Amino acid sequence: MKITFLGHASLEIKIDEFSIVVDPFISGNPFASDVDIDSLKPDFILITHAHQDHILDVEKLAKENDSIIISNFEIVNYFQNKGLKGHPMNHGGKWNFDFGELKYVNAIHTSTFPDGENGGQPGGFIISANNKSIYIAGDTALTYDMKLIPLKYNLDLAVLPIGDNFTMGYEDAILASDFIQCDKILGYHYDTFGLIEINETNAIDKFKERGKNLILLKPLESLEV
């Protein structure tokens, strides 16, 4: 799997010939101005929850690429009502897609659409393909539910929010990394707005003190698992 950071909480994941875009918020993010949204050709769009900074570019991308939107029931329903394609899931469920197995897991957060529509309950995803598994936490607090993940999955990478205020901060992300038994963490959801600015060097050092690796990418930088 090749994971490319697209700014804030947006990712592109390439598995074999498939492109999966997660939580696209590109056109509204000045820090992602190098990302050419028209170069993205997602076969699938994964949405963790309905907040603006996770769904802004879903309609455009899905319409232009005939993408399948995967999220909770309410979010998929919302986009299906706009004529887009979707596959609804709910917490604890998994499904085998063409790219691999996907599980929708718990997150502690909220999930109302910008227009006030009900966005169901927020979640995260575990993607398993080609003998690798990654966890994308979405916006979430640190939660004991994370301890369930290593009972079934041996994670090769976890993508965790570290910006604090709206989600856990990096101190809690270190504890999350213990809970999920994965020491390789890609940090996201930080620095985009004033309320989630962090000291990046400090965050990386704190992980290092615990023998863990916090990776912070610039938009369009990638890593491979």
Q: Please report, as ranges, the residues that interact with Mn ion according to CB under 5 A.
A: 51, 53, 139
Stretch that binds Ni ion, among 24-32, 34-42, 136-144, 148-156 (CB under 5 A): 136-144
- Closest approach, Cβ 101 to Mn ion, in A, equals 25
Q: Does 74 bind Ni ion (CB under 5 A)?
A: no
Stretch that binds Ni ion, among 3-11, 48-56, 78-86, 195-203 (CB under 5 A): 48-56
Give the nearer residue to Mn ion in terms of CB position, either 99 or 170.
170
What the block records as the tokens of 204 is 């990386």
Q: Choosing among Mn ion, Ni ion, none, which partner's interface includes residue 172 (Cβ < 5 to 8 Å by kind)?
A: none
- Closest approach, Cβ 219 to Mn ion, in A, equals 16
Q: Does 139 bind Ni ion (CB under 5 A)?
A: yes
Give the nearer residue to Mn ion in terms of CB position, either 53 or 74.
53
The strand pair at 2-5 and 222-224 is best described as antiparallel
- Closest approach, Cβ 53 to Mn ion, in A, equals 4
Closest CA to 65 of 20, 96, 126, 99: 20
CA distance 69 to 172: 30
Q: What are phi and psi of 6, to 5 degrees?
A: -115, 20
Whether 119 and 113 have beta carbons less than 8 Å apart is answered as yes
CA distance 185 to 134: 10
Q: Choosing among Ni ion, Mn ion, none, which partner's interface includes residue 12 (Cβ < 5 to 8 Å by kind)?
A: none
Measured at the CA of 103, the angle between CA 165 and CA 206, to 5 degrees, comes to 40
- Closest approach, Cβ 51 to Ni ion, in A, equals 4
Give the nearer residue to Ni ion in terms of CB position, either 88 or 122.
122
Give the nearer residue to Ni ion in terms of CB position, either 51 or 103.
51
Contacts 24+ apart (CB under 8 A), 28-34: 28/52, 28/53, 28/56, 28/57, 29/53, 29/192, 31/7, 31/191, 31/192, 31/219, 32/6, 32/7, 32/8, 32/219, 34/219, 34/220
Q: What are residue 87's DSSP bridge partners? A: 70
Q: Does 51 bind Ni ion (CB under 5 A)?
A: yes
- Closest approach, Cβ 120 to Ni ion, in A, equals 13
Stretch that binds Ni ion, among 36-44, 49-57, 146-154, 192-200 (CB under 5 A): 49-57
CA distance 157 to 13: 12
Q: Does 8 bind Ni ion (CB under 5 A)?
A: no
Give the nearer residue to Mn ion in terms of CB position, either 51 or 103.
51
Give the nearer residue to Mn ion in terms of CB position, either 153 or 190.
190
Query: For binding to Ni ion (CB under 5 A), which residues are involved?
Result: 51, 139
